[in-house]
Amino acid sequence: MTDISLENKTAIVTGASSGIGAATARALASAGARVALVARRADRLASLAEDLNQETKRSDAAVALSADVATNAGVERAFADAKTALGSVDILANIAGVMLVAPVLGTNTDQWRRMVEINLMGLMQLTQKAAEHMVDRKTGHVVNVSSLAARHTSSNFAVYSATKFAVAAFTETLRKELIGTGVRTTEIMPGIVKSELAQQIEDDVIREDIGRWMESVTPLEPEDIAEAVLFAVTRPPNVAVSEMIVRPTNEEL
């Protein structure tokens, strides 16, 4: 069996204040990695960092770095602060995202812009910085957690799905560009997962409909996706897990 120890490895996890991001940070830290927790909610990050340091009995298991990766300045600060705290970056897990689903017609396009900025631009810019650093070191792993919406779309999901289709194209192209560098990429596409994403939907009817739909299929736990991330980044150097779809057993899509 493959050794799942990440001792002496370092990782940046975005979206670490809740859900899949927090679960992934916990999984990586539990496996021995030192983790930079990146999100906007500083209080949640500080609490998670304290918990991880106590759980692992390591004072440097996690560090909280509040930043908004939807902005250029936020990306610059997050990566610079992570490098300072960790010394180097072996793993980048891009998990930050928003799901502001709504019809195309009549929707305030500020919602579209926010999704593009967080789900796509922030991910791509942070990936660029991390990948350049990793190529210089001839080792590293970029994990982009997108969505099953990168393969299937539905009414009201046009722009959300568009960002996820774009993440899929970006990650696959980057995989090809990085061949021979020692740096690997993985796209993980979760189906329905228990999270705070649906709470962000402004339309009451759509939010309630999605809530009922999610409960009808018994959604995954964030830890289920964290385990997929951990699996991908602990394969031997000759193995690249390029794509993974992880969905509830009862999800039809």
CA atoms within 13 A on the CB side of 194: 10
Please report the pLDDT score of residue 43 as a whole number: 94
Task: With beta carbons less than 8 A apart as the criterion, state whether 148 and 191 touch.
Answer: yes
Domains of the chain: 10-244 (3.40.50.720)
Separate counts of helices (H) and strands (E) for the chain: 8, 7
Q: Are 35 and 29 in contact (CB under 8 A)?
A: yes
Closest by CA to 185, choosing from 247, 134, 248, 113, is 134
| 29 and 22 Cβ atoms separated by less than 8 Å | no
The identity of residue 251, as a single letter, is E
pLDDT at 176: 98
Is residue 6 a contact partner of residue 234, using CB atoms and an 8 Å limit? Answer: yes
Could you give the CA distance from residue 241 to residue 147 in angstroms, rounded to a whole number? 16
Q: Where does the chain have alpha helices with state H?
A: 19-30, 42-56, 72-86, 109-115, 123-137, 158-177, 204-216, 222-233
pLDDT tens figures, 127-159: 999 999 999 999 999 999 999 999 988 888 899
pLDDT of residue 1: 42
CA separation for the pair 160, 166 (Å, rounded): 10
Mean pLDDT, the chain, as a whole number?
A: 93
pLDDT at 16 (0 to 100): 96
> What is the spatial order of strands in the sheet that 140-145 belongs to?
62-66, 34-39, 10-14, 91-94, 140-145, 183-190, 243-246
pLDDT-above-90 percentage for the chain: 80
What's the pTM value of the predicted model, to 2 decimals?
0.93
pLDDT value for 3 = 60
Reported as a single tens digit per residue, the pLDDT across 179-219 is 999 999 999 999 989 877 666 777 778 888 777 877 788 88
Tens-digit pLDDT profile for residues 80-113: 999 999 999 999 999 999 988 888 999 899 999 9
Task: Kindly give the interhelix angle for 72-86 and 123-137, rounded to the nearest 10 degrees.
Answer: 30
Q: Which of these, 184, 175, 189, lies nearest to 225 by C-alpha position?
A: 189
Residue with tokens 């770095």: 65
Place of tokens 């993974």: 244
Instruction: List phi, psi (to 5°) of 122.
Output: -60, -45
Report d(CA 215, CA 149) in Å as an integer: 18
Handedness of CA 192, 196, 201, 204 (dihedral sign): positive
Question: Does 160 participate in catalysis according to the annotation?
Answer: yes
* Catalytic residue of the set 79, 112, 157, 160: 160
